[in-house]
Structure 1
Amino acid sequence: MLICGIDEAGRGCLAGSLFVAGVVCDEEVLSQNLSKTLQKMGIKDSKKLSKHKRYELKSRLDEISHLSHFVVEKTAEEIDTKGLSACLKEALEAIMQAVVSVAKNEVIKKPNDRGDRADEELGKSSGGDLLDLPQEDLIRFYFDGNSTFGASTLKVSRDFTTKISLECIVKGDALVPLISCASIYAKCAKDTQSAQLDKIYPQYDLATNAGYGTKAHIESIARYGLSPIHRASFCGKFLDYAHSLDSALFGECGDSSDFVKSSVQKSSRTKTSETKSSKLKSNITDSKNTKSNRAKSTKRTPKATKNQPSLF
Protein backbone atom coordinates (compact mmCIF):
# COMPACT_ATOMS: atom_id res chain seq x y z
CA MET A 1 0.00 0.00 0.00
CA LEU A 2 1.15 3.51 -0.80
CA ILE A 3 0.81 6.49 1.52
CA CYS A 4 0.84 10.04 0.18
CA GLY A 5 0.94 13.11 2.39
CA ILE A 6 -0.31 16.37 0.85
CA ASP A 7 0.00 19.96 2.06
CA GLU A 8 -0.15 23.45 0.61
CA ALA A 9 1.61 26.79 0.96
CA GLY A 10 0.30 30.21 0.04
CA ARG A 11 -3.40 29.59 0.53
CA GLY A 12 -3.98 32.89 2.34
CA CYS A 13 -1.48 35.04 0.45
CA LEU A 14 -2.37 38.31 -1.23
CA ALA A 15 0.29 37.81 -3.90
CA GLY A 16 1.90 34.95 -5.77
CA SER A 17 0.85 31.38 -6.45
CA LEU A 18 -0.61 28.61 -4.37
CA PHE A 19 1.61 25.52 -4.19
CA VAL A 20 0.31 22.07 -3.30
CA ALA A 21 2.84 19.28 -2.72
CA GLY A 22 2.50 15.54 -2.31
CA VAL A 23 5.10 13.14 -0.93
CA VAL A 24 4.51 9.41 -1.44
CA CYS A 25 6.13 6.29 -0.03
CA ASP A 26 5.39 2.60 0.45
CA GLU A 27 3.76 2.06 3.83
CA GLU A 28 5.99 -0.91 4.68
CA VAL A 29 9.17 1.07 4.04
CA LEU A 30 7.79 3.98 6.03
CA SER A 31 6.88 1.83 9.01
CA GLN A 32 10.14 -0.15 9.05
CA ASN A 33 12.76 2.58 9.25
CA LEU A 34 11.97 5.64 7.17
CA SER A 35 9.63 7.15 9.74
CA LYS A 36 12.41 7.11 12.35
CA THR A 37 14.86 8.51 9.81
CA LEU A 38 12.56 11.44 9.09
CA GLN A 39 12.14 12.06 12.79
CA LYS A 40 15.91 12.09 13.36
CA MET A 41 16.31 14.51 10.46
CA GLY A 42 14.05 16.95 12.26
CA ILE A 43 11.17 16.74 9.80
CA LYS A 44 8.13 18.62 11.13
CA ASP A 45 5.59 21.26 10.19
CA SER A 46 7.38 23.70 7.87
CA LYS A 47 5.93 26.68 9.77
CA LYS A 48 8.04 25.65 12.75
CA LEU A 49 11.24 25.66 10.70
CA SER A 50 13.40 28.55 9.56
CA LYS A 51 13.69 29.22 5.85
CA HIS A 52 17.30 28.03 5.87
CA LYS A 53 16.35 24.82 7.68
CA ARG A 54 13.51 24.11 5.25
CA TYR A 55 15.83 24.28 2.25
CA GLU A 56 18.38 22.13 4.03
CA LEU A 57 15.79 19.45 4.80
CA LYS A 58 14.40 19.62 1.27
CA SER A 59 17.84 18.81 -0.12
CA ARG A 60 18.13 15.84 2.22
CA LEU A 61 14.66 14.60 1.29
CA ASP A 62 15.64 14.74 -2.38
CA GLU A 63 18.34 12.18 -1.64
CA ILE A 64 15.94 9.60 -0.16
CA SER A 65 15.22 7.17 -2.97
CA HIS A 66 12.14 5.69 -1.31
CA LEU A 67 10.32 9.03 -1.48
CA SER A 68 8.64 10.59 -4.50
CA HIS A 69 7.33 14.14 -4.47
CA PHE A 70 5.07 16.19 -6.70
CA VAL A 71 4.41 19.94 -6.66
CA VAL A 72 1.46 21.62 -8.37
CA GLU A 73 1.22 25.39 -8.84
CA LYS A 74 -1.92 27.49 -9.09
CA THR A 75 -1.27 31.07 -10.19
CA ALA A 76 -2.87 34.23 -8.84
CA GLU A 77 -4.72 34.58 -12.15
CA GLU A 78 -6.15 31.06 -11.85
CA ILE A 79 -7.23 31.74 -8.28
CA ASP A 80 -8.97 34.97 -9.31
CA THR A 81 -10.67 33.23 -12.24
CA LYS A 82 -11.70 29.91 -10.67
CA GLY A 83 -11.64 30.61 -6.96
CA LEU A 84 -9.38 29.21 -4.27
CA SER A 85 -11.51 26.15 -3.47
CA ALA A 86 -11.68 25.10 -7.12
CA CYS A 87 -7.91 25.48 -7.45
CA LEU A 88 -7.29 23.38 -4.34
CA LYS A 89 -9.67 20.74 -5.68
CA GLU A 90 -7.84 20.62 -9.02
CA ALA A 91 -4.44 20.53 -7.34
CA LEU A 92 -5.44 17.61 -5.11
CA GLU A 93 -6.79 15.68 -8.08
CA ALA A 94 -3.65 16.51 -10.05
CA ILE A 95 -1.39 15.05 -7.38
CA MET A 96 -3.55 11.94 -7.02
CA GLN A 97 -3.49 11.49 -10.79
CA ALA A 98 0.30 11.86 -10.85
CA VAL A 99 0.74 9.17 -8.19
CA VAL A 100 -1.68 6.84 -9.97
CA SER A 101 0.12 7.44 -13.27
CA VAL A 102 3.43 6.42 -11.74
CA ALA A 103 1.80 3.38 -10.16
CA LYS A 104 0.51 2.39 -13.59
CA ASN A 105 4.08 2.71 -14.91
CA GLU A 106 3.08 5.50 -17.25
CA VAL A 107 5.23 8.39 -18.32
CA ILE A 108 4.55 11.37 -16.10
CA LYS A 109 3.14 14.32 -17.95
CA LYS A 110 1.48 17.43 -16.64
CA PRO A 111 -1.21 16.14 -14.29
CA ASN A 112 -4.22 17.03 -16.44
CA ASP A 113 -5.48 19.29 -19.19
CA ARG A 114 -7.37 21.67 -16.91
CA GLY A 115 -4.60 24.22 -16.71
CA ASP A 116 -2.69 22.63 -13.84
CA ARG A 117 0.89 23.77 -13.81
CA ALA A 118 3.14 21.15 -12.30
CA ASP A 119 6.49 22.11 -10.90
CA GLU A 120 9.53 20.92 -12.83
CA GLU A 121 10.20 18.55 -9.98
CA LEU A 122 7.17 16.53 -11.07
CA GLY A 123 9.24 15.00 -13.83
CA LYS A 124 12.36 14.68 -11.70
CA SER A 125 10.75 12.90 -8.75
CA SER A 126 11.98 9.35 -8.12
CA GLY A 127 9.16 6.92 -8.71
CA GLY A 128 11.01 3.64 -8.93
CA ASP A 129 9.45 2.20 -5.79
CA LEU A 130 5.96 2.95 -7.06
CA LEU A 131 6.18 0.95 -10.24
CA ASP A 132 5.85 -2.40 -8.52
CA LEU A 133 2.52 -1.51 -6.93
CA PRO A 134 0.05 -4.40 -7.42
CA GLN A 135 -3.14 -3.22 -9.08
CA GLU A 136 -5.33 -4.50 -6.26
CA ASP A 137 -3.50 -2.54 -3.56
CA LEU A 138 -4.68 0.66 -1.98
CA ILE A 139 -3.31 4.19 -2.28
CA ARG A 140 -4.15 6.40 0.67
CA PHE A 141 -3.90 10.17 0.38
CA TYR A 142 -3.81 12.33 3.50
CA PHE A 143 -4.35 16.08 3.18
CA ASP A 144 -3.62 18.59 5.91
CA GLY A 145 -6.79 20.46 6.89
CA ASN A 146 -10.50 19.92 7.45
CA SER A 147 -11.74 19.76 3.86
CA THR A 148 -10.88 17.98 0.62
CA PHE A 149 -12.65 20.73 -1.37
CA GLY A 150 -14.71 18.21 -3.30
CA ALA A 151 -11.72 16.46 -4.85
CA SER A 152 -12.95 13.25 -6.47
CA THR A 153 -11.08 9.99 -6.26
CA LEU A 154 -13.50 8.57 -8.85
CA LYS A 155 -12.10 10.81 -11.57
CA VAL A 156 -8.58 9.76 -10.67
CA SER A 157 -9.22 6.03 -10.40
CA ARG A 158 -11.13 5.78 -13.67
CA ASP A 159 -9.81 2.85 -15.75
CA PHE A 160 -7.59 1.85 -12.86
CA THR A 161 -8.40 -1.00 -10.50
CA THR A 162 -6.41 0.28 -7.54
CA LYS A 163 -8.56 1.54 -4.70
CA ILE A 164 -7.94 5.15 -3.76
CA SER A 165 -8.93 7.00 -0.60
CA LEU A 166 -8.55 10.67 0.32
CA GLU A 167 -8.78 11.82 3.91
CA CYS A 168 -8.20 15.19 5.53
CA ILE A 169 -6.40 15.42 8.87
CA VAL A 170 -6.52 18.54 11.02
CA LYS A 171 -2.98 19.60 11.94
CA GLY A 172 -1.73 16.77 9.78
CA ASP A 173 1.50 18.64 9.07
CA ALA A 174 2.43 18.06 12.70
CA LEU A 175 1.03 14.53 13.01
CA VAL A 176 1.83 12.70 9.76
CA PRO A 177 5.51 12.58 8.67
CA LEU A 178 4.74 12.52 4.95
CA ILE A 179 2.46 15.55 5.29
CA SER A 180 5.31 17.31 7.12
CA CYS A 181 7.57 16.48 4.17
CA ALA A 182 4.95 17.82 1.76
CA SER A 183 4.66 21.03 3.76
CA ILE A 184 8.42 21.56 3.37
CA TYR A 185 8.31 21.05 -0.40
CA ALA A 186 5.31 23.36 -0.78
CA LYS A 187 6.78 26.09 1.40
CA CYS A 188 10.16 25.95 -0.35
CA ALA A 189 8.41 26.31 -3.71
CA LYS A 190 6.52 29.33 -2.37
CA ASP A 191 9.65 30.94 -0.90
CA THR A 192 11.58 30.39 -4.13
CA GLN A 193 8.88 32.10 -6.17
CA SER A 194 8.60 34.97 -3.67
CA ALA A 195 12.34 35.63 -3.94
CA GLN A 196 12.06 35.71 -7.73
CA LEU A 197 9.04 38.03 -7.71
CA ASP A 198 10.76 40.32 -5.22
CA LYS A 199 13.33 41.16 -7.89
CA ILE A 200 10.55 42.21 -10.26
CA TYR A 201 8.36 44.01 -7.71
CA PRO A 202 10.77 45.15 -4.97
CA GLN A 203 8.32 47.72 -3.60
CA TYR A 204 6.25 44.96 -1.97
CA ASP A 205 9.17 43.23 -0.18
CA LEU A 206 7.86 39.80 -1.18
CA ALA A 207 11.11 38.10 -0.22
CA THR A 208 10.29 38.97 3.38
CA ASN A 209 6.51 38.64 3.57
CA ALA A 210 6.16 35.81 0.97
CA GLY A 211 3.01 37.49 -0.32
CA TYR A 212 1.13 37.39 2.99
CA GLY A 213 -0.90 40.36 4.23
CA THR A 214 1.55 41.89 6.66
CA LYS A 215 1.06 45.50 7.75
CA ALA A 216 4.04 46.59 5.65
CA HIS A 217 2.69 44.74 2.60
CA ILE A 218 -0.75 46.35 2.97
CA GLU A 219 0.87 49.77 3.33
CA SER A 220 2.77 49.09 0.09
CA ILE A 221 -0.51 48.23 -1.62
CA ALA A 222 -1.90 51.53 -0.33
CA ARG A 223 1.02 53.40 -1.88
CA TYR A 224 1.56 51.50 -5.14
CA GLY A 225 -1.70 49.65 -5.82
CA LEU A 226 -1.95 46.04 -7.00
CA SER A 227 0.59 44.35 -9.29
CA PRO A 228 -0.17 41.64 -11.87
CA ILE A 229 0.84 38.96 -9.37
CA HIS A 230 -1.61 40.10 -6.68
CA ARG A 231 -4.85 38.19 -6.16
CA ALA A 232 -7.45 40.87 -6.76
CA SER A 233 -10.18 38.63 -5.35
CA PHE A 234 -8.25 38.40 -2.08
CA CYS A 235 -7.33 42.06 -1.79
CA GLY A 236 -10.80 43.62 -1.66
CA LYS A 237 -11.12 43.78 2.11
CA PHE A 238 -7.47 44.69 2.41
CA LEU A 239 -7.87 47.53 -0.07
CA ASP A 240 -10.46 49.06 2.27
CA TYR A 241 -7.99 48.69 5.10
CA ALA A 242 -5.23 50.04 2.87
CA HIS A 243 -7.42 53.06 2.11
CA SER A 244 -7.88 53.67 5.82
CA LEU A 245 -4.12 53.38 6.25
CA ASP A 246 -3.69 55.73 3.32
CA SER A 247 -5.96 58.27 5.01
CA ALA A 248 -4.10 57.84 8.27
CA LEU A 249 -0.72 58.16 6.58
CA PHE A 250 -1.53 60.85 4.04
CA GLY A 251 -4.71 62.50 5.30
CA GLU A 252 -7.06 63.40 2.47
CA CYS A 253 -4.25 63.27 -0.09
CA GLY A 254 -4.14 60.57 -2.70
CA ASP A 255 -0.48 59.70 -2.43
CA SER A 256 2.78 60.46 -0.70
CA SER A 257 3.73 63.30 -3.06
CA ASP A 258 0.49 65.11 -2.27
CA PHE A 259 1.13 64.38 1.36
CA VAL A 260 4.50 66.11 1.18
CA LYS A 261 2.95 69.13 -0.53
CA SER A 262 0.16 69.18 2.02
CA SER A 263 2.66 68.95 4.85
CA VAL A 264 4.60 71.91 3.46
CA GLN A 265 1.41 73.90 3.10
CA LYS A 266 0.29 72.97 6.61
CA SER A 267 3.72 73.88 7.93
CA SER A 268 3.59 77.19 6.09
CA ARG A 269 0.09 77.88 7.38
CA THR A 270 1.20 76.99 10.90
CA LYS A 271 4.16 79.37 10.73
CA THR A 272 1.96 82.11 9.28
CA SER A 273 -0.59 81.50 11.99
CA GLU A 274 2.11 81.63 14.65
CA THR A 275 3.43 84.90 13.19
CA LYS A 276 -0.05 86.41 13.10
CA SER A 277 -0.69 85.19 16.61
CA SER A 278 2.57 86.72 17.78
CA LYS A 279 1.75 90.02 16.11
CA LEU A 280 -1.74 89.93 17.57
CA LYS A 281 -0.35 89.33 21.04
CA SER A 282 2.09 92.18 20.51
CA ASN A 283 -0.69 94.48 19.34
CA ILE A 284 -2.83 93.54 22.32
CA THR A 285 0.08 94.23 24.65
CA ASP A 286 0.78 97.57 22.96
CA SER A 287 -2.89 98.43 23.12
CA LYS A 288 -3.00 97.65 26.83
CA ASN A 289 0.11 99.73 27.43
CA THR A 290 -1.34 102.63 25.45
CA LYS A 291 -4.62 102.50 27.36
CA SER A 292 -2.70 102.31 30.62
CA ASN A 293 -0.63 105.36 29.69
CA ARG A 294 -3.74 107.23 28.64
CA ALA A 295 -5.39 106.34 31.89
CA LYS A 296 -2.40 107.64 33.80
CA SER A 297 -2.32 110.84 31.79
CA THR A 298 -5.99 111.56 32.45
CA LYS A 299 -5.55 111.41 36.23
CA ARG A 300 -5.36 114.95 37.75
CA THR A 301 -4.06 116.10 41.10
CA PRO A 302 -6.91 117.40 43.25
CA LYS A 303 -6.92 121.20 43.69
CA ALA A 304 -7.56 122.92 46.99
CA THR A 305 -10.85 124.74 47.22
CA LYS A 306 -11.35 128.01 48.85
CA ASN A 307 -12.82 126.40 51.93
CA GLN A 308 -10.14 123.72 52.12
CA PRO A 309 -6.50 124.38 52.97
CA SER A 310 -3.95 123.33 50.45
CA LEU A 311 -1.95 120.23 51.14
CA PHE A 312 1.17 121.72 49.66
Structure 2
Amino acid sequence: MTSVNPEQIAGMTAKAVRELCQSADINGYPALAQVLSQDSRAAVKKQGQSLMRQYEKHCAAIRKTARMKAVEEGFYGEGYQIIGGSDEVGRGPLAGPVVCAAVILPRDSAILHVDDSKKLSAKMREALDEQIRAEALSVTIGLRTPEQIDAMNILEATKSAMSEAVSRLAPQPDLMLIDALTIETQAEVRGIVHGDATCYSIAAASIVAKVYRDKLMHEYHEQYPEYGFDRNVGYGTAEHIAAIKKYGITPIHRRSFVKNFV
Protein backbone atom coordinates (compact mmCIF):
# COMPACT_ATOMS: atom_id res chain seq x y z
CA MET A 1 0.00 0.00 0.00
CA THR A 2 1.35 3.45 -0.92
CA SER A 3 1.32 6.13 1.78
CA VAL A 4 -1.66 8.44 2.06
CA ASN A 5 -1.96 11.92 3.48
CA PRO A 6 -4.77 13.57 5.46
CA GLU A 7 -6.11 15.33 2.37
CA GLN A 8 -6.51 12.04 0.53
CA ILE A 9 -8.27 10.48 3.52
CA ALA A 10 -10.59 13.48 3.76
CA GLY A 11 -11.68 12.87 0.18
CA MET A 12 -12.56 9.23 0.83
CA THR A 13 -15.83 7.81 2.12
CA ALA A 14 -15.81 5.97 5.45
CA LYS A 15 -16.38 2.74 3.52
CA ALA A 16 -13.37 3.41 1.32
CA VAL A 17 -11.27 4.08 4.42
CA ARG A 18 -12.36 0.73 5.88
CA GLU A 19 -11.36 -1.02 2.67
CA LEU A 20 -8.01 0.79 2.73
CA CYS A 21 -7.43 -0.42 6.29
CA GLN A 22 -8.34 -3.98 5.37
CA SER A 23 -5.78 -4.02 2.56
CA ALA A 24 -2.99 -2.39 4.57
CA ASP A 25 0.08 -4.29 5.71
CA ILE A 26 0.16 -4.58 9.48
CA ASN A 27 3.63 -3.03 9.65
CA GLY A 28 2.15 0.12 8.14
CA TYR A 29 -0.65 0.38 10.70
CA PRO A 30 1.01 3.01 12.95
CA ALA A 31 1.63 5.45 10.08
CA LEU A 32 -1.86 4.95 8.68
CA ALA A 33 -3.42 5.29 12.12
CA GLN A 34 -1.58 8.59 12.60
CA VAL A 35 -3.09 9.92 9.38
CA LEU A 36 -6.58 8.69 10.28
CA SER A 37 -6.38 10.36 13.69
CA GLN A 38 -6.24 13.75 11.95
CA ASP A 39 -9.57 13.22 10.19
CA SER A 40 -12.59 15.06 11.54
CA ARG A 41 -14.93 12.06 11.26
CA ALA A 42 -15.40 9.95 14.39
CA ALA A 43 -15.79 6.74 12.36
CA VAL A 44 -12.45 7.31 10.64
CA LYS A 45 -10.71 8.10 13.93
CA LYS A 46 -12.09 4.82 15.31
CA GLN A 47 -10.61 2.98 12.34
CA GLY A 48 -7.23 4.37 13.29
CA GLN A 49 -7.67 3.37 16.92
CA SER A 50 -8.66 -0.13 15.82
CA LEU A 51 -5.53 -0.39 13.69
CA MET A 52 -3.34 0.54 16.65
CA ARG A 53 -5.01 -2.03 18.89
CA GLN A 54 -4.39 -4.70 16.26
CA TYR A 55 -0.80 -3.55 15.84
CA GLU A 56 -0.16 -3.65 19.58
CA LYS A 57 -1.55 -7.20 19.75
CA HIS A 58 0.67 -8.16 16.83
CA CYS A 59 3.75 -6.74 18.55
CA ALA A 60 2.82 -8.52 21.79
CA ALA A 61 2.55 -11.80 19.86
CA ILE A 62 6.01 -11.24 18.37
CA ARG A 63 7.47 -10.59 21.82
CA LYS A 64 5.78 -13.68 23.25
CA THR A 65 7.10 -15.87 20.44
CA ALA A 66 10.60 -14.50 21.03
CA ARG A 67 10.34 -15.32 24.75
CA MET A 68 9.18 -18.87 24.00
CA LYS A 69 11.97 -19.38 21.47
CA ALA A 70 14.55 -18.20 24.00
CA VAL A 71 14.47 -21.68 25.57
CA GLU A 72 15.63 -23.32 22.35
CA GLU A 73 18.09 -20.51 21.61
CA GLY A 74 19.82 -21.18 24.91
CA PHE A 75 20.33 -24.80 23.92
CA TYR A 76 21.46 -23.88 20.41
CA GLY A 77 24.02 -21.70 22.13
CA GLU A 78 25.31 -24.79 23.94
CA GLY A 79 26.05 -26.44 20.61
CA TYR A 80 22.96 -28.54 19.91
CA GLN A 81 22.09 -28.61 16.21
CA ILE A 82 18.68 -30.30 15.96
CA ILE A 83 16.20 -29.62 18.74
CA GLY A 84 12.74 -31.13 18.99
CA GLY A 85 9.79 -30.74 21.31
CA SER A 86 7.17 -33.23 22.43
CA ASP A 87 3.94 -33.02 24.38
CA GLU A 88 0.88 -35.12 25.11
CA VAL A 89 -2.85 -34.67 25.27
CA GLY A 90 -5.50 -36.94 26.70
CA ARG A 91 -4.12 -38.22 29.99
CA GLY A 92 -7.30 -37.38 31.89
CA PRO A 93 -10.26 -38.37 29.67
CA LEU A 94 -12.52 -41.32 30.35
CA ALA A 95 -12.49 -42.31 26.67
CA GLY A 96 -10.17 -42.28 23.71
CA PRO A 97 -6.42 -42.61 23.35
CA VAL A 98 -3.59 -40.65 24.86
CA VAL A 99 -1.78 -38.90 22.02
CA CYS A 100 1.77 -37.56 21.91
CA ALA A 101 3.26 -35.41 19.17
CA ALA A 102 6.93 -34.76 18.48
CA VAL A 103 8.02 -31.82 16.35
CA ILE A 104 11.28 -30.49 14.96
CA LEU A 105 11.01 -26.93 13.68
CA PRO A 106 13.76 -24.98 11.90
CA ARG A 107 15.79 -22.71 14.14
CA ASP A 108 14.42 -19.62 12.36
CA SER A 109 10.78 -20.70 12.69
CA ALA A 110 8.70 -18.03 14.43
CA ILE A 111 5.02 -18.84 14.01
CA LEU A 112 2.99 -16.26 15.90
CA HIS A 113 0.43 -17.33 18.52
CA VAL A 114 2.01 -20.74 19.19
CA ASP A 115 1.08 -21.42 22.81
CA ASP A 116 -0.26 -24.06 25.16
CA SER A 117 -3.01 -25.70 23.11
CA LYS A 118 -5.46 -25.39 26.01
CA LYS A 119 -5.28 -21.59 25.76
CA LEU A 120 -6.24 -21.50 22.08
CA SER A 121 -9.58 -21.75 20.31
CA ALA A 122 -10.21 -24.77 18.10
CA LYS A 123 -10.09 -22.54 15.02
CA MET A 124 -6.72 -21.08 16.04
CA ARG A 125 -5.30 -24.53 16.87
CA GLU A 126 -6.28 -25.88 13.47
CA ALA A 127 -4.73 -22.91 11.65
CA LEU A 128 -1.53 -23.23 13.67
CA ASP A 129 -1.41 -26.99 13.11
CA GLU A 130 -1.33 -26.36 9.36
CA GLN A 131 1.46 -23.79 9.75
CA ILE A 132 3.49 -26.02 12.05
CA ARG A 133 3.22 -29.00 9.70
CA ALA A 134 4.15 -26.82 6.72
CA GLU A 135 7.31 -25.47 8.41
CA ALA A 136 8.42 -28.49 10.42
CA LEU A 137 11.40 -30.61 9.49
CA SER A 138 9.54 -33.55 11.05
CA VAL A 139 6.21 -34.18 12.77
CA THR A 140 5.27 -37.53 14.29
CA ILE A 141 2.47 -38.95 16.40
CA GLY A 142 2.47 -41.72 18.98
CA LEU A 143 -0.68 -42.93 20.70
CA ARG A 144 -1.83 -45.58 23.10
CA THR A 145 -5.32 -47.03 22.94
CA PRO A 146 -7.74 -47.35 25.85
CA GLU A 147 -6.89 -51.06 26.05
CA GLN A 148 -3.19 -50.26 26.30
CA ILE A 149 -3.85 -47.58 28.90
CA ASP A 150 -5.80 -50.07 31.01
CA ALA A 151 -2.99 -52.61 30.71
CA MET A 152 -0.07 -50.25 31.32
CA ASN A 153 -1.56 -47.39 33.42
CA ILE A 154 -1.85 -43.88 32.03
CA LEU A 155 1.62 -42.68 33.00
CA GLU A 156 3.44 -45.59 31.38
CA ALA A 157 1.16 -45.42 28.34
CA THR A 158 1.94 -41.72 27.93
CA LYS A 159 5.67 -42.26 28.23
CA SER A 160 5.50 -45.14 25.76
CA ALA A 161 3.54 -43.08 23.23
CA MET A 162 5.98 -40.19 23.55
CA SER A 163 8.99 -42.46 23.15
CA GLU A 164 7.44 -43.84 19.97
CA ALA A 165 6.77 -40.38 18.57
CA VAL A 166 10.33 -39.24 19.29
CA SER A 167 11.86 -42.42 17.84
CA ARG A 168 10.08 -41.81 14.53
CA LEU A 169 11.44 -38.30 14.02
CA ALA A 170 13.67 -37.93 10.97
CA PRO A 171 16.18 -36.48 11.31
CA GLN A 172 16.75 -37.65 14.87
CA PRO A 173 17.25 -34.71 17.24
CA ASP A 174 20.33 -34.00 19.33
CA LEU A 175 18.04 -32.76 22.07
CA MET A 176 14.38 -33.31 22.95
CA LEU A 177 12.51 -30.84 25.11
CA ILE A 178 9.51 -32.25 26.96
CA ASP A 179 7.16 -31.16 29.71
CA ALA A 180 8.10 -32.99 32.92
CA LEU A 181 8.21 -36.61 31.75
CA THR A 182 11.07 -39.09 31.69
CA ILE A 183 11.18 -41.13 28.49
CA GLU A 184 13.48 -43.62 26.78
CA THR A 185 15.07 -42.13 23.69
CA GLN A 186 18.43 -41.99 21.95
CA ALA A 187 18.39 -38.20 22.07
CA GLU A 188 19.30 -36.24 25.16
CA VAL A 189 16.16 -35.13 26.99
CA ARG A 190 15.55 -31.99 29.02
CA GLY A 191 12.38 -31.45 31.01
CA ILE A 192 10.91 -27.95 30.88
CA VAL A 193 8.44 -27.14 33.66
CA HIS A 194 5.20 -25.80 32.12
CA GLY A 195 6.93 -26.29 28.79
CA ASP A 196 3.71 -26.19 26.78
CA ALA A 197 3.27 -22.56 27.86
CA THR A 198 6.91 -21.44 27.89
CA CYS A 199 8.80 -23.37 25.18
CA TYR A 200 8.13 -22.88 21.47
CA SER A 201 8.68 -26.45 20.24
CA ILE A 202 6.80 -28.05 23.14
CA ALA A 203 3.87 -25.68 22.60
CA ALA A 204 3.90 -26.54 18.89
CA ALA A 205 3.79 -30.24 19.76
CA SER A 206 0.90 -29.63 22.16
CA ILE A 207 -1.09 -28.05 19.31
CA VAL A 208 -0.38 -30.89 16.88
CA ALA A 209 -1.32 -33.50 19.48
CA LYS A 210 -4.53 -31.69 20.46
CA VAL A 211 -5.73 -31.22 16.88
CA TYR A 212 -4.96 -34.85 16.03
CA ARG A 213 -6.78 -36.21 19.08
CA ASP A 214 -9.78 -33.91 18.72
CA LYS A 215 -10.26 -35.08 15.14
CA LEU A 216 -10.20 -38.69 16.32
CA MET A 217 -12.79 -37.97 19.00
CA HIS A 218 -15.05 -36.24 16.48
CA GLU A 219 -14.84 -39.38 14.34
CA TYR A 220 -15.77 -41.48 17.37
CA HIS A 221 -18.75 -39.18 17.89
CA GLU A 222 -20.12 -40.40 14.56
CA GLN A 223 -20.02 -43.96 15.92
CA TYR A 224 -21.21 -43.17 19.43
CA PRO A 225 -23.28 -39.95 19.27
CA GLU A 226 -24.93 -40.52 22.66
CA TYR A 227 -21.76 -39.58 24.55
CA GLY A 228 -21.13 -36.11 23.14
CA PHE A 229 -17.55 -36.83 22.12
CA ASP A 230 -17.70 -33.90 19.67
CA ARG A 231 -18.05 -31.61 22.69
CA ASN A 232 -16.24 -33.32 25.57
CA VAL A 233 -13.58 -35.19 23.50
CA GLY A 234 -13.74 -37.97 26.05
CA TYR A 235 -13.41 -35.94 29.24
CA GLY A 236 -15.67 -36.68 32.19
CA THR A 237 -18.30 -33.99 31.81
CA ALA A 238 -21.68 -34.36 33.48
CA GLU A 239 -23.20 -35.13 30.08
CA HIS A 240 -20.63 -37.83 29.40
CA ILE A 241 -20.98 -39.48 32.81
CA ALA A 242 -24.77 -39.45 32.50
CA ALA A 243 -24.49 -41.18 29.12
CA ILE A 244 -22.21 -43.86 30.59
CA LYS A 245 -24.74 -44.54 33.33
CA LYS A 246 -27.58 -44.70 30.81
CA TYR A 247 -25.96 -46.54 27.87
CA GLY A 248 -22.94 -48.26 29.40
CA ILE A 249 -19.43 -48.06 28.03
CA THR A 250 -18.09 -48.29 24.49
CA PRO A 251 -14.95 -50.01 23.19
CA ILE A 252 -13.12 -46.68 23.38
CA HIS A 253 -13.76 -46.16 27.10
CA ARG A 254 -10.91 -46.72 29.53
CA ARG A 255 -12.27 -49.35 31.85
CA SER A 256 -9.84 -48.41 34.60
CA PHE A 257 -11.15 -44.83 34.45
CA VAL A 258 -14.91 -45.51 34.39
CA LYS A 259 -15.26 -48.29 36.96
CA ASN A 260 -16.95 -45.91 39.41
CA PHE A 261 -19.67 -45.08 36.88
CA VAL A 262 -20.75 -48.56 35.73
TM over 0.5: yes
**Whole-angstrom distance in 2 between the partners of 1:9 and 1:211:** 11
Tell me if structure 1 keeps the 8 A contact 2:140–2:166: no
Residue 228 of structure 1 is matched in structure 2 by 251
Partner of 1:250: none
- d(CA) in 2 for partners of 1:171, 1:20: 16
Tell me the CA shift for residue 168 of structure 1: 1.9
Letter matched to residue 210 of structure 1: V
* Separation of aligned partners in 1, 2:225 and 2:123: 21
Instruction: Give the Cα–Cα distance (whole angstroms) in 2 for the partners of residues 96 and 190 of structure 1.
Output: 17
Amino acid at match of 2:235: Y
Query: Which letter maps to 1:96?
Result: V
Q: After the TM superposition, list the runs of 4 or more consecutive aligned residues in structure 1 that deviate by more than 2 angstroms.
A: none
1:259-289, Cα deviation, whole Å (9 max, x unpaired): xxxxxxxxxxxxxxxxxxxxxxxxxxxxxxx
Report the alpha carbon displacement of residue 147 of structure 1 after superposing the two structures with TM: 2.9
Cα distance in 1 for residues equivalent to 2:160 and 2:211: 21
Q: CA deviation at 1:167?
A: 2.1
Given the alignment of the two structures, is residue 193 of structure 1 paired with residue 227 of structure 2, yes or no? no
Partners in 1 of 2:121 and 2:166 — Cα distance? 29
Task: Determine helix, strand or coil for the equivalent of 2:174.
Answer: strand
Deviations 1:27-62 (A, max 9, x none): xx42xx32xx22xx2111110111111111111222
* Normalised TM-score (structure 2): 0.66
Q: CA deviation at 1:88?
A: 1.7
Is the contact made by 1:46 and 1:184 (CA closer than 8 Å) also made in structure 2? yes
1:212 is aligned to 235
- 2:76 is aligned with 1:44: no
Partner residue of 1:62 out of 124, 133, 139: 133
Q: Secondary structure at the match of 2:259?
A: helix
Could you tell me how far 1:192 is from its partner in structure 2?
Answer: 0.2
* 1:63 alignment partner, SS class: helix
- 1:14 alignment partner, SS class: coil
CA offsets, 1:146-201, max 9 Å, x none?
Answer: 332xx223xxx3xxxxxx21122221011110111101100001110111000100
- Write the distance in 2 (CA, Å) between the matches of 1:152 and 1:202: 38
Equivalent position to 2:184, from 133, 152, 161? 152
Q: Distance in 2 between matches of 1:73 and 1:93?
A: 10
Unaligned segments of structure 2, at least 5 residues: 1-80
The answer for the alignment partner of 2:190 in structure 1 is 167
For 1:2 and 1:75, the matched residues in 2 are separated by 30
Which residue is equivalent to 2:142?
A: 72
Residue 201 (structure 2) pairs with residue 178 (structure 1): yes
Contact 1:61-1:67 at 8 Å conserved across structures:
no
Q: Is the 8 A contact 1:46 1:183 kept in 2?
A: yes
Query: Which residue in 1 is equivalent to 2:66?
Result: none
Q: Which runs of 5+ in 1 are unaligned?
A: 104-129, 131-137, 158-163, 244-312
SS of corresponding position for 1:212: coil
| Identity of matched residues, % | 34
Q: How many residues align?
A: 182
Structure 1 residue identity aligned to 2:174: I
Matches within 5 A, 1:24-173: 24-25=104-105, 29-30=106-107, 33-34=108-109, 37-38=110-111, 41-64=112-135, 66-99=136-169, 102-103=170-171, 139-144=174-179, 146-148=180-182, 151-153=183-185, 157=186, 164-173=187-196
Say what the alpha-carbon RMSD is for the aligned residues: 1.7
Amino acid at match of 2:178: F
Q: 2:162, 2:126 → 1: CA distance? A: 23
